[in-house]
Amino acid sequence: MSALDPTLVRELAPQVIGVLVRRGADFASAEDAVQEALLAAHEQWGEQPPRDPRAWLVTVAWRRHVDLVRSDAARRAREERLHHKPPPGRAAASDDTLWLYFLCAHPSLSPSAATALTLRALGGLTTRQIAEAHLVPEATMAQRISRAKRTVADVPLGVPGDLATVLRVLYLVFSEGYAGEVDLAAEAIRLVRRLAALTDEPEVRGLLALFLLHHSRRAARRDAEGRLVPLPEQDRSRWDRRLAAEGIDLLQDALARDRLGEYQAQAAVAALHADALRAEETDWAQVVEWYDELVALTGSPVHRLNRAVAVGEADGGAAGLRALRELDPSLPRYAAVAAHLHERAGDLADAARLSAEAAAAATRTDERDHLTRQAARLAPHRRDP
Amino acid sequence: MAKYLMLKHYRGPKTAVHDVPMDRWTPEEVDAHVRFMDDLADELRESGEFVDAQALSPGGTWVRFDGEGRPPVVDGPFAETKDLIAGWMVIDVESEERALEVASVLSSAPGAGGVPIGEWLELRPFLDDRPNAVE
């Protein structure tokens, strides 16, 4: 091993937590101790990391843990125990890591608590990095994490949970947006990649495929000035074909198991976009079919909204508007979709009015700016005062 | 999570339920009010929802650009503008319902006679400025 690879060190975090918990440490203090060991690794390893980084982290984290829980008077006894501890077994490491995924996504946690805990215990990120990514003070994030740890303090070791909640938390991490030095989307990919190595559940592969396919378009999603570029206008030569191919392989592997789920279906839509070398070559009829599957699987109004866009592309703006009519206008992004479909149907006056409405309802600055530009482009067609 | 700004107005278009100007409170009432605000900020730190809290000096100045190479045009200060912002608190919460709940607590800060002022707070969601990975 050469210079310190921060990602590799972080990869080891859940395994080391697992070892400490197996030795009898409670999750909250094990997690604290491992966080300190990671910080120590960053300070001490430099150009010369230890030959067995995992063993080093286990030793340091265990020592920190013992320091934290034992009083000075008991130090001698602790040292005695340290010398007689058997080496950590590797066989249980993968089970422990899987259990940590369940624990960090435990249903008793709020979504924000689950994402923060996942990023720290499984991602091995520091509180400061997680705080920066969420644009909150470090002290606030520290509280969020310690409250989350208290919430799951009584969850018994090794009890499996629901994989669907784990995947929802990972999806949240991926979709949250990012700031600071850590790219949460890349982090989510790393976390789901590792999960995919621990279980062969098709939805895990489906989620990884979805992330990779979305990620493959990232370079094309913004222009040089940082403006949002909608999918049909993206420069597809800037799509990362290698990532997309990996996503498609994973998806095919998952679909072959014949247990369809919402992430596989979403990945299938993303794969159809990846297949089209030019926007005009997109197989919109198939995209609509996948959205039909998604709506059948989830009943989610968000998928219905996206389905209306796909119908608009497959059968024209009027058909898209008919599909839209069944939906609640108070849905997020409804006005943006309505504007797009009206423009496609040739109704520029309504498209102009709805674009302005959509810009006012946007929840992200880049979307608002994009919709404002759309509204400005269509403004000459406005009829309302 | 979503960030919200809770904007406090000294004076605004909407009058508080218990509307006594602060300069007519007793020192103890002022202390109780300040303590309430500090305690709320601490509770929000504790719950992992606190982002920022700032108070503004009431005296402000209006400034505008007046052409290249020219000094800015300055107007004011105005003591008697209709709407005067006193300060704000920024929270990062799970839902809009939670934001409304926190704002309601902030509005219950004690004023004259130790009773909740019931001032109107302006609650504004932040636009997320971070690039995101889905489209």
Closest chain B C-alpha to A322 CA, distance in angstroms: 23
Question: In chain A, what percentage of residues exceed pLDDT 70?
Answer: 92
Closest chain A C-alpha to B78 CA, distance in angstroms: 31
| Assigned domain for B108 exists | yes
Q: Cα–Cα distance between A277 and A287 in angstroms, integer?
A: 16
Q: Specify the pTM.
A: 0.88
Q: Which residue of A has its CA nearest to B124?
A: A363
Residues B38-69: tens digit of each pLDDT: 999 999 999 999 999 999 988 788 899 999 99
- HSE at residue A329, side-chain half, CA atoms within 13 A, is 8
A-interface mutation test, from B126, B128, B129, most A Cβ less than 10 A away = B128
By C-alpha distance, which of A159, A161, A268, A284 is closest to A213? A268
CB contact under 8 A, B51 and A185: no
Q: What is the ipTM of this complex?
A: 0.88
Which amino acid would we find at residue B3? K
Question: In chain A, what percentage of residues exceed pLDDT 90?
Answer: 78
| Assigned domain for B79 exists | yes
What residues make up the domain containing B54?
2-60+74-125
CB contact under 8 A, B133 and A134: no
- Domain count across chain B: 1
Residues B82-134: tens digit of each pLDDT: 678 899 999 999 999 999 999 999 999 999 999 999 999 999 999 998 887 77
Backbone angles phi, psi at A289, to 5 degrees: -60, -40
pLDDT at B81: 63
| Assigned domain for B93 exists | yes
A217 near B CB under 8 A:
yes
pLDDT at A112: 95
| Assigned domain for B52 exists | yes
Q: Cα–Cα distance between B18 and B113 in angstroms, integer?
A: 10
Residues A278-303: tens digit of each pLDDT: 999 999 999 999 999 999 999 999 99
> Which residues make beta-bridge pairs with A222?
A228
Q: Which CATH number fits the domain that encloses residue B114?
A: 3.30.70.1060
Q: Which residues of A touch B45 (CB under 8 A)?
A: 139-140, 143
Closest chain B C-alpha to A183 CA, distance in angstroms: 10
B-interface mutation test, from A112, A117, A132, A140, most B Cβ less than 10 A away = A140
Sign of the Cα pseudo-torsion (B123, B128, B134, B135, in order): positive
